[in-house]
Amino acid sequence: MKADHAKITALLKTARGQIDGLLKMVEDDRYCMDVSHQLLAVQAILRKADREVVKAHLQNCVREAFASGNEEEKINEILVLMDKLTK
């Protein structure tokens, strides 16, 4: 992986901490909307981590593939990812 490992690790650890907090909220039978807001916060952090990984992929792996004439595989990877994102 070409993404900044420290940045991705920090984001994922933050998300893990929020998920632990969410589990406690559910166990404590907290208010539904409070749980929902925290779920959205976790999703936002995971989206941010994913953006960083994809950005690094485009800037490094895809660029290298185009430079070496092997772009077709990388284009297909991005198309598959776009399909997943739009579902």
- Report the C-alpha gap between 87 and 84 in whole angstroms: 5
What is the value of pTM for the model shown? 0.85
Domains of the chain: 5-85 (1.20.58.1000)
pLDDT mean for each 10 residues of the chain (87 residues): 91 98 97 98 97 93 91 92 91
| Contact between residue 52 and residue 11 where contact means Cβ atoms under 8 Å apart | yes
Write down the pLDDT at residue 38.
Answer: 97
Q: What are the distances in angstroms from CA 7 to CA 31, 43, 50, 53, 72?
A: 32, 17, 11, 10, 29
80 dihedral zone (left: phi>0; alpha: psi -120 to 50; beta): alpha
